Structure 1
């Protein structure tokens, strides 16, 4: 699985991320919100082409599980051929429950009910994270378009054993095994 968050309508960043989806043979794309719109607090990114971003993602519609970000709206859904307005979803990653959300409603400071060993996957902060905290695996792939905190643009990958954050050149930034706890 490949995790992409905070695309914010940037076509070149999405193209780089999808290159890694193919290279890593990701069967599924988990899109953690803020897909098309750059948002009023963010600068317009270079390569801002939201209609083309939707068109490109639609080619992967049968492989995408997406959740709504704070910049996503019903008009965005009109362009996307995959559901993108759910506030959260649940997945099984290696037999572990993963709560998947954007991060503006649920986040590392306001967690949903999770059991010991569960995984919390989110975006929104644009800060990469892969670490165990209080018996929960906290995972944020960062942003492919507008990274913060001095981090490079990044995405996430689940290889069946670990959740990894990679920069768009494929360098490992952070990693956590889902079985550490």
Structure 2
């Protein structure tokens, strides 16, 4: 199973298209929210094109699961064909229960029996394992706070964070 993980695109079609080159062969994609709107604290990113990003997501040929972010609005939910889940997405494969949320609402992933807990919101990539739970934040391909535009791929038992040039930033 190959799962693409992205967060905090904030309406940036250029960033989405760059990441999608790596995700197009995934079984499905998880988006941890802040899909279309830049939000009041973020600059308008180069490549900002919410209608274009809406069209790209609506025309995907692979499933995408979206967790609602703090910048995602009711209008976004109407425009996007894939439903935006609030406040988290729960997925189960053969070996793992995956919980994905935006990250602006805090809760303990142990209550869901999560093996992999995915958040966005901080715009900073992170990958670590604590107490038998893998914590993944794919960062942001659009408005990174660490200056590295990133996304992640979960493939079988390996999780990797990449930059937009395909360079490995972190893996577990």
Count, aligned residues: 170
After superposition, what is the alpha-carbon deviation per residue over 1:40-80, rounded to whole angstroms, capped at 9, x for unaligned? 00011111111111011111175111110000011011110
Partner residue in 2 for 1:161:
157
Q: Point out which structure has higher relative CO (alpha carbons under 8 A, 6+ apart).
A: 2
**Equivalent residue runs for 1:100-139 within 5 Å:** 100-106=100-106, 110-114=107-111, 118-139=115-136
Give the deviation of 1:26 after TM superposition: 0.6
Aligned residues of 1:127 and 1:149 also touching (Cα < 8 A)? yes
State TM-score, norm by structure 2. Answer: 0.92
SS at match of 1:40: coil
1:147 alignment counterpart: 144
Residue aligned with 1:14, SS: helix
Q: Is the alpha carbon distance of 1:33 and 1:116 closer, same or farther for their aligned partners in structure 2, counting shifts above 3 Å? A: closer
Match of 1:26? 26
Which ranges of structure 2 fall in alignment gaps of 5 or more residues? none
Structure 2 residue 88 is the aligned partner of structure 1 residue 76: no
2:37 aligned residue: 37
Instruction: Please list every run of 5 or more consecutive structure 1 residues that lacks an aligned counterpart in the other structure.
Output: 177-181
Q: Which position in structure 1 is the counterpart of 2:48?
A: 48
State the shift of 1:90 in Å.
1.2
Could you report, residue by residue, the CA deviation over 1:74-128 in whole angstroms, capped at 9, with x for unpaired residues? Answer: 101111011014210111255121111010002xxx4343477722111001111
Give the equivalent residue in structure 2 for 1:13. Answer: 15
